Amino acid sequence: MAPSTRAGKSLPAGYWLVLAAAVLLPFGSFIATLWRIWVNEPEFSYGILIPPIAAYLLWNRRIDIEREKKHGQSSGIALVLAGCGLQIVGSLSSTLIVSGFALVLSISGIVLCLWGARCFRIALVPLLLLILMVPVPSYAVGQISWKLQAGASAVSSIVLRLLNVPVFQDGNVLTLPNYVLEVKQACSGSRSVFALLVLALTLGLRVERKWWVRILLVAAAPVLAVVANVMRIVGTGLIAKHWGSLAANESLHTMWGILVFVIAAGGLLGFQRLLRWTNNECA
């Protein structure tokens, strides 16, 4: 039988120790692996922000959770056990995404076990956000990066020609009169896509209440990431045209990448304001 908890009644410290052990013991190696990936692989460094964001969204709903606390449901134990069993599958197969779903399932089961179905529903969406902290499988990243490379290269070559910059495109290689610009995987824009998706979801869940606004925000994120990457490539091409090898300067390349990401993030915030204004006008 699940521990009975009433609204306003705090749990003994022993329960929290048991629950912490229930999460850390089966998922300790998984969490350690995630940490190494976040720290060592810039492509997925955004993942370190996901747990604090999910915690903030839960904290923002704390009044609703406190109000809806009821007797825990024993069915939550089944979810915890199912999550631990799924973690065994994920660990044996070295599939991080399976372990990610297992962790979310286990934490959701703990919420259901402690505070009941209503709190479970309130907490479910922020908990599902934790899936985003798990790196996308490498084969999927490769496919996404290549398509972004090819698309950004094609659009950038068109824009450069419109700006009177002679350029010949061969796949992801742009050949200028005095410089050869290769759009590598690191410059594909996939980092911006994942980071902007996280920002769009956070904005949608924290600020917006209407589902159609949330969907449009998420849909706009990859578009803005591609536009930002095209700006980066075109800017590098213009630098190469006028100053040649300066375009290969690593510091300049990094600063330019940060600048266009800030522009893309600002574009997402502006789009969110536009949606809100449109919603108010139509109301």
Q: Give the dihedral of Cα atoms 237, 239, 244, 249; nearest 10 deg.
A: -100
Per-residue pLDDT, 144 = 74
Per-residue pLDDT, 235 = 82
In this structure, the number of other CB atoms found within 10 A of the CB of residue 151 comes to 17
Per-residue pLDDT, 43 = 75
What is the tens place of the pLDDT at every residue in 29-46? 898 999 999 988 877 888
Longest dimension (CA), the chain: 75
In the chain, pLDDT over 70 holds for what percent of residues?
Answer: 82
Angle among Cα 128, 133, 135 to the nearest 5 degrees reads 120
The two three-digit tokens of residue 140, written as one number: 């999927």
- Separation between Cα atoms, residue 283 and residue 274, nearest integer Å: 14
Nearest partner of 7 among 52, 64, 84, judged by Cα: 64
Confidence at 2, pLDDT banded by 50, 70, 90: very low
Angle among Cα 231, 235, 239 to the nearest 5 degrees reads 175
Nearest partner of 65 among 124, 148, 140, 139, judged by Cα: 124
Q: What is the pLDDT averaged over residues 108-114?
A: 85
Higher pLDDT, 194 or 106: 106
Q: What is the pLDDT averaged over residues 189-199?
A: 77
In this structure, the number of other CB atoms found within 10 A of the CB of residue 108 comes to 20
Q: What is the pLDDT averaged over residues 38-55?
A: 86
- Separation between Cα atoms, residue 1 and residue 23, nearest integer Å: 20
Confidence at 8, pLDDT banded by 50, 70, 90: very low
From 55-64, 112-121, 200-209, the region with the lowest mean pLDDT: 200-209
The two three-digit tokens of residue 129, written as one number: 């956000």
- Separation between Cα atoms, residue 122 and residue 193, nearest integer Å: 28
The two three-digit tokens of residue 20, written as one number: 């912490």
187 alpha-carbon distance from chain centroid: 18
193 alpha-carbon distance from chain centroid: 8
Backbone angles phi, psi at 113, to 5 degrees: -65, -40
Confidence at 7, pLDDT banded by 50, 70, 90: very low
pLDDT, averaged across the chain: 80
In the chain, pLDDT over 90 holds for what percent of residues?
Answer: 5
Q: What is the pLDDT averaged over residues 201-209?
A: 77
Relative orientation angle of helices 75-93 and 96-115, to the nearest 10 degrees: 170
Asked if 279 and 210 count as a contact pair (C-beta separation under 8 A), the reply is yes
- Separation between Cα atoms, residue 65 and residue 73, nearest integer Å: 15
The two three-digit tokens of residue 62, written as one number: 């704390």
What is the tens place of the pLDDT at every residue in 124-183? 888 988 988 898 777 776 677 777 777 888 888 888 888 888 888 887 788 888 777 777
Strands (E), the chain: 168-170, 173-176, 179-182
CA–CA distance from 164 to each of 159, 169, 232, 245, 258 (Å)?
A: 9, 15, 17, 19, 26
